[in-house]
Structure 1
Amino acid sequence: MRWGDADGALSDLRAHATELGRAAGPLEIYWCAGRGVTSTPQLELDAEVALFERALTEFATIFEGRDVRFFLASSVGGAYALASGPPFTENTAVAPGSHYGVAKLAMEQKLMATARAAGWRAFIGRITNLYGPGQDMGKGQGLISVITDSYVSGKPVSLYVSLDTLRDYIYEDDCAAVIAGGMARLASEAQGTTVTKIVGAMAAVSIGALLGEITRLRRQRSRITLGQSRSGGQASDLRVRSVVWPELDALVRTTLPEGLDKVYRARLRSLAEVGA
């Protein structure tokens, strides 16, 4: 995929969609693309939204008359950054605090409109803090991955948020399980329906407690320095509670200690393979 070239990316998406359209039966599409984070400039985010909108227009034409089930990865932090009264649910009024949040919500709205017009079934997953092995470190996010890397590499980590900051961390395999379960449930919804669900562990942890747990598991403190906050557009308390398809939350089975250990061991394996 030529993601750095909007026209090239759209051409690639058109080709892949045409190939997918040759398959019989219901079609499932998962849109998990995007490199935007809360600090990404608005122009870059606008370009991501524009590409998504163009892709949906192409898909609606290519898949006309087909049974399409579409998943969009969205963001709890983007949707509820300035919301009040946690824990937040799907009934909480959205309140973005950054261009990133505005972009994510614009993509949600475009998908809802397309699903309604084309007769698709859509599933929007507002995901909490996703973590796991293989996270893209180039995006400048992923606190667990960054701290784990500091244990392996010995490099210090600078934190720019309060240790009291509350986040909900969901392991990647659990997140995938909830999304797969939601897509299966989507089949029973009426055409043109969009279901929005918060996807998370439903258990908030402070950054201070997270550091304490990592220290306990590794039996030594990580090299952390605290800097002046630059966390614009991020809420200090992002506790959540899903009220949509809550039975799917039972698919989240990886405890935080288990997940932290998996990330650490995967990082060690990665370094061993590089050095081999």
Structure 2
Amino acid sequence: MSGPRNRAARTAPARRPALVVGAGGLIGRALCERMRAAGTEFVAATRDTPPLVRPDGTPAAALSAAGVVHYLATSVTPGLAETRPERVAADHETFVRMLDALSTVENPPLVVLTSTGLTVSESGDGLPCTEDAQALPKSAYARAKLALERELLSRAPLVPGMVLRMTNVYGPGHALRGGYGVVAHWLAAAAEGRPLELWGDPDTTRDYLYVDDAAAALAGLGPEAADLPFDVVNIASGEATTLGRLLGVIREVTDRELTVRLRPGRGFDQPANLLDVTRAHRFLGWRARTPLALGLERTWRALTGAGAAR
């Protein structure tokens, strides 16, 4: 569903505020900070506060008045998706309810869904996946994200939508959640003098994206993005990094003796999750600007209060 759009071009009225749903999360906070610094008008919300949909199923004022809705809200991690299907179902229902409400609006906002590259890369061959790669997700988490993508894109032309598939986003303030966010867990362990747990093969390859770069990609999307000739775009650093290399950079950044405990691989982990970012470079003029070492240094300093990174 990432090919040419099947709707006519639309132009949203100027100066409609953005709505950030999931403003309290890692990416949501960074996005709000970036828009605040740029003087961009926006409304911050969670999935439920303020309510986005009225009891009668119509959109609340903040939802219908938005020019762009950045949907970042989720309550599941890869680990939780495997064990708590009711949480997955609740997330899906909340998103569908919002889309159904927007389907009643005469000039609905562009809905930008932040998804995961796992929807396609789990079935890949270890090479960077394009947006047009076949989606054959193997994990419950990736299947849940793909279901949200399809709900959004199936609403065209009634609701304009854009899917941003991101890789492993990290940065200051990343909450520690089980089975999710190796950078946050490793830096927290280093700060507290605990062993770092490495699950699976040290040659497992990922793409780590600094949160400010992720926020920049989102902030660059206005209502006019509804007229782009595609509706899915990959957002990633474009740099393949093994867990072993990540560990080495963390050793350099923290300048501490680190103890590592090897753990067996988990069923939802894949050998490589990499995305091709040509489309983002060519059409959005976006590329990641933060090298891994610098992003890790900034995250470490924010965690330990060691002062500003260079």
Q: Residue 52 of structure 2 aligns with which residue?
A: 13
User: Residue 278 of structure 2 corresponds to which residue in structure 1?
Assistant: 243
Q: What residue number does 1:112 align with?
A: 153
Describe the SS at the equivalent of 2:247. Answer: helix
- Of stretches 257-266 and 217-226 in structure 1, the one that deviates more from structure 2 is 217-226
1:205-224 to 2 correspondence within 5 Å?
205-224=241-260
Is 1:144 matched up with 2:183?
yes
Query: Which of 125, 130, 134 is the equivalent residue of 2:173?
Result: 134
Q: Relative to structure 2, which stretch is displaced further, 240-249 or 151-160? A: 240-249
Instruction: Give me the whole-angstrom Cα distance separating, in 2, the residues matched to 1:205 and 1:183.
Output: 31
SS in structure 1 at match of 2:162 = strand
Equivalent residue in structure 2 for 1:49, among 77, 92, 102: 92
| TM-score scaled by length of structure 1 | 0.83
SS of residue in 1 equivalent to 2:194: coil
| 1:29 aligns with one of 66, 69, 76 | 69
CA 1:139–1:186: 2 relative to 1, 3 Å = farther
CA distance in 2, matches of 1:21, 1:206: 41
Judging changes above 3 Å, is the alpha-carbon distance between structure 1 residues 58 and 10 closer, same or farther for their aligned structure 2 residues?
Answer: farther
**Secondary structure in 1 matching 2:154:** helix
Counterpart pick for 1:261 among 273, 291, 297: 297
**Number of paired residues?**
254
Counterparts of 1:11 and 1:269, CA distance in 2: 33
Q: Distance in 1 between matches of 2:251 and 2:265?
A: 23
Match of 1:162 among 194, 201, 210: 201
Secondary structure, counterpart of 1:147 in structure 2: helix
Deviation track 1:42-92 (CA, whole Å, cap 9, x = no partner) reads: 23212211221122112222xx11141110010012432122351211121
Give ranges in structure 2 of 5+ residues lacking alignment: 1-20, 22-46
| C-alpha displacement of 1:187 | 4.7
Given the alignment of the two structures, is residue 75 of structure 1 paired with residue 116 of structure 2, yes or no? Answer: yes
Q: What code does the residue aligned with 1:53 have?
A: V
Secondary structure of 1:97's counterpart equals coil
Amino acid at match of 2:77: V
Structure 1 residues 88 and 194, CA gap change in structure 2 (3 angstroms): closer
Pick the aligned partner of 1:181 from 212, 216, 220. Answer: 220
User: Percent same amino acid at aligned positions?
Assistant: 26
- Residue of 230, 234, 237 corresponding to 2:269: 234
User: Are residues 167 and 83 of structure 1, via their aligned partners in 2, closer, same or farther at CA, if it must alter by over 3 Å?
Assistant: same
What is the Cα deviation at residue 261 of structure 1? 0.6
Structure 1: stretches of 5+ with no match in the other structure: 2-7, 271-276
Q: Deviations over 1:77-130 (max 9, x none)?
A: 2432122351211121112011111111111011011232x1x33110110000
C-alpha contact (below 8 Å) 1:115/1:122 kept by paired residues: yes
- Mapped to 2, the partners of 1:256 and 1:218 lie a distance apart of 14
Aligned-pair distance for 1:30? 0.9
Runs of 4+ in 1 over 6 A off after TM superposition: none
* 1:196-215 residue CA offsets vs partner (Å, 9 max, x unmatched): 01111011100100111111
CA distance 1:269–1:207, change in 2 (3 Å): same
- Hey, what's the Cα distance between the residues in 1 that align with 2:244 and 2:115? 26
Q: Alpha carbon RMSD of aligned pairs, Å?
A: 2.5
Looking at structure 2, the residues matched to 22 and 83 of structure 1 have their Cα atoms a distance apart, in angstroms, of 38
CA contact (8 A) 1:166 1:206 kept: yes
Q: Quick one: distance in 2 between partners of 1:77 and 1:188?
A: 26
Name the SS for the 1:43 alignment partner: helix
Counterpart of 1:103 in structure 2 is 144
**Whole-angstrom CA distance in 1 between matches of 2:48 and 2:188:** 32
CA contact (8 A) 1:147 1:157 kept: yes
After TM superposition, give the deviation of residue 183 of structure 1 in Å: 3.8
SS at match of 1:29: strand
CA contact (8 A) 1:96 1:233 kept: no
Select the structure that is richer in helix. 1
Measure, in 2, the Cα distance between the counterparts of 1:85 and 1:22: 41
SS of the residue 1:106 aligns to: helix
Tell me the distance in 1 between the aligned counterparts of 2:160 and 2:230. Answer: 6
